[in-house]
Amino acid sequence: DGVAEKAIEMVIPSVFVKGVEYEGRLKEQKFCEERGIEVRFVGQKVHGSTVIAMELSRRVKQSGTLAEV
């Protein structure tokens, strides 16, 4: 869709920062690097909502109730 790229071109940052969960799959990375914009990944990798929901579902199935989760 190019929305991020348009915003990056408007601002022209020297550094583009995203969370570590985007490392290796950031679609804007090549775009930034081609323009001399440094890409950095910061923070700690956390579980996304899908992983949390799957774990909650597993625990409910195991215990039979939300009260014990």
pLDDT the model gives residue 41 = 95
pLDDT the model gives residue 26 = 95
Query: Per-residue pLDDT tens for 4-43?
Result: 999 999 999 999 999 888 999 999 999 999 999 999 999 8
pLDDT the model gives residue 6 = 96
Query: Per-residue pLDDT tens for 43-63?
Result: 877 767 777 888 888 888 888
As a dihedral over the C-alpha atoms of residue 11, residue 16, residue 22, residue 25, rounded to 10 degrees, the angle is 80
- Model-level pTM? 0.62
> Residue 19 contacts by C-beta under 8 Å, 6 or more apart in sequence?
41, 42, 43
